[in-house]
Structure 1
Amino acid sequence: RAVLENLRQPLEDGTISVSRAQATLSFPARFTLIAAMNPCPCGNATDPEKLCSCTPSAIIKYQRKISGPILDRIDIHVEVPRVKFEKLAETKVGEESVSIRERVMRARQKQQERFKSIDGIVTNSEMQNQHIKKFCPLGEKEMALLRQAVDSLHLSARAFHRIIKIARTIADLADCENIEASHLAEAIQYRQRQV
């Protein structure tokens, strides 16, 4: 748990500070954290077909291994259910990798253009609050949706801003100039949910 807690600063600031003797040094540490965990010790808490053998207290103890502040700094949470045989054996092909790559490259180019006059920002994830106000204006419908999410999900200020940045990226991937309600709804769905 201590190792995970030490990720708080680099996840938030993109830097890591090391204090030795009488000096403190800061180093760049911007990275993409990709993590996985089961919903409970046995792994079956969210499985509709397998029975979870864990007690509620065991599940709570297991989930507390990752603190709320760390979870709040993880922008996208996706539950990955077990894949059924029919899906594995399916011959239908999804979107081609080349097509996905081109879409991502176009979105990255949009972001580079958007932030060309601001030092230190290349992607939406690096925006500070003042940049969010400038580059992510929301209409009335979008603001109402976000207000509802904040109230019903009890979101932190950090989560509020991260949802907007994710929605901006989703809009970029969809080649949309403005953030629409559907982009916000998708970003909200990526917030962490309890088992």
Structure 2
Amino acid sequence: MDSGFCYIKPLRNSLDDFPILSSKRCRENHYKNIETTILVDLNILAEMSRVIENKVAYHTSYLALLVKSLNELEYIFLSSGLALMEANEEYKIKMHKNFNLFLTKYLPRFYDAHNTVDDVAELKNSQNFTNLNSQEKFHYVIPYLSLLKINFINKQFKELPSFARFKKYITYMAFEANNISALETEIANSLFSIIQLLRTITHN
């Protein structure tokens, strides 16, 4: 497979516009030398871990449907790397171990991909953006840009009310960055509001 990273922009005109993840699509990608990979988030990893540790029954967890769907697909891979980067060191090691145990038991076809990296220690939690490779920068650029813009607006326009600062943020992300992330938007809204509240309390 080529070492490329395809970033799918999550902004679409309607729910009907989403591509369908099907065996046909994965197979077509495979024959074009495109690897189709599902990035497993930390919530799913945590649920897998709970199942392995018998804290949750597999058949009553939401994973049963996911496993059924994945086992019906071909030419597809699972990756937990980005999710593991969100966890602290101790939690990361446990999640990685239980992820592999879950795959062995419920998704054996996914257990050992040709490009597997088994050294969980390589997944660093903290890195400087400038030290990331081009593919990693492409993935993290919107969250990174969003947080930079939030801090810039707070510093440069601290006299503006919270709504005006929030409007500046949304305007920039919509018309300059051309991408509005729900998570960072919520962070901006909360941060601007909290700072406004603290200033009000301080002045009173």
TM-score by length of 1: 0.28
Larger radius of gyration: 2
**If each structure's helix is expressed as a fraction of its own residues, which one has the higher value?**
2
TM-score by length of 2: 0.27
